[in-house]
Chain A
Amino acid sequence: DTGVSQNPRHKITKRGQNVTFRCDPISEHNRLYWYRQTLGQGPEFLTYFQNEAQLEKSRLLSDRFSAERPKGSFSTLEIQRTEQGDSAMYLCASSYLRGPPPYEQYFGPGTRLTVT
């Protein structure tokens, strides 16, 4: 068990470019979550998956954001036509919903995006 991993750890891009981040959850974890954290704020929910099904998207998530988890394992988060306001730390977490609750969410180290 190597924990949740995210790649890349840092990404600098120019405004208007598309970026894609990857999250590899802990093996066999069936739930995968994406959060975003901006300076001085706590992490903010974006979306989550149960296996390959996307169960919930935040109303704050614009149409420029899309997330997938095609085989129920790793997930990708794509941001199209990036804006400076997209600069943030993007965090991924996974959870194993088996056995008695409550279930912890285990976080990766995040991808820090800077849009110039």
Chain B
Amino acid sequence: ILNVEQSPQSLHVQEGDSTNFTCSFPSSNFYALHWYRWETAKSPEALFVMTLNGDEKKKGRISATLNTKEGYSYLYIKGSQPEDSATYLCACQETSGSRLTFGEGTQLTVNP
């Protein structure tokens, strides 16, 4: 059973600040790391999926990195905007197409 941990639990930043979150996971039996953004009353939105050590993905102002040897991933948001306010979830996967094991999420609030 994977144990996926995210930090911090919650974060309040001002508009324009850059921020980052951490996801840590066991490095054994690792296949993929997924990041999701989940806004209230909406569906969780897939941001990135990464499999290889050293992977870096970017979508607009959001980027993510993966270190499978030490078991962590970072999510960065550059120049936070109020619309970035959401819960950011990471999830690990042991094999292709299998279940996801989620962390508890980081709740981000961006104040205008």
Contact surface of A with B, Cβ cutoff 8 Å: 3-4, 31, 33, 35, 40-45, 48, 56, 58, 91, 95, 97, 101-110
Q: Given that A42-B91, A42-B105, A102-B51 are known contacts, is A109 also in contact with B41, CB under 8 Å in the complex?
A: yes
User: Across the A-B interface, how many residue pairs have beta carbons closer than 8 Å?
Assistant: 66
- Asked if residues A48 and B99 are in contact (CB atoms below 8 Å), the reply is yes
- Asked if residues A42 and B104 are in contact (CB atoms below 8 Å), the reply is yes
A4, A41, A95, A102, most chain B CB atoms within 10 A = A102
What residues of B have a CB within 8 angstroms of the CB of A31 in the complex? 97
Output the nearest chain B residue to A45 by Cβ-Cβ distance. B99
- Asked if residues B97 and A4 are in contact (CB atoms below 8 Å), the reply is no
What residues of B have a CB within 8 angstroms of the CB of A108 in the complex? 43
Enumerate 24 A-B pairs (CB-CB under 8 Å) in ascending A order: A3-B43, A4-B43, A31-B97, A33-B100, A40-B104, A42-B4, A42-B6, A42-B102, A42-B105, A43-B44, A43-B91, A43-B100, A45-B99, A56-B98, A56-B99, A102-B50, A102-B93, A102-B96, A104-B49, A105-B34, A105-B46, A106-B43, A107-B43, A108-B43
